[in-house]
Amino acid sequence: MCESNVYIEKEGKEILIFKDVDFIQPMGDQIILRDILGEEKVLKNRIKIISFRDHKIILE
């Protein structure tokens, strides 16, 4: 499995916002995320860290 969970970092804490993401596409100042069931979220955040080993994406 290659899915990752997406977190937003706020005040030094990681807050889970989306699980089992298998698609990320930057679009200008936005990021499109899609999970394994096809649900999409569009966020105005930047990628801070991607850890393939931990299956974790952290946005800021």
* Those residues with Cβ within 8 angstroms of residue 37's Cβ, 6 or more apart along the chain or in another chain: 20
Task: Tell me the pTM.
Answer: 0.89
pLDDT one-digit tens code per residue, 2-58: 899 999 999 999 999 999 999 999 999 999 999 999 999 999 999 999 999 999 999
Contacts of 2 (CB under 8 A, 6+ apart): 22, 55
Q: What is the pLDDT of residue 31?
A: 97
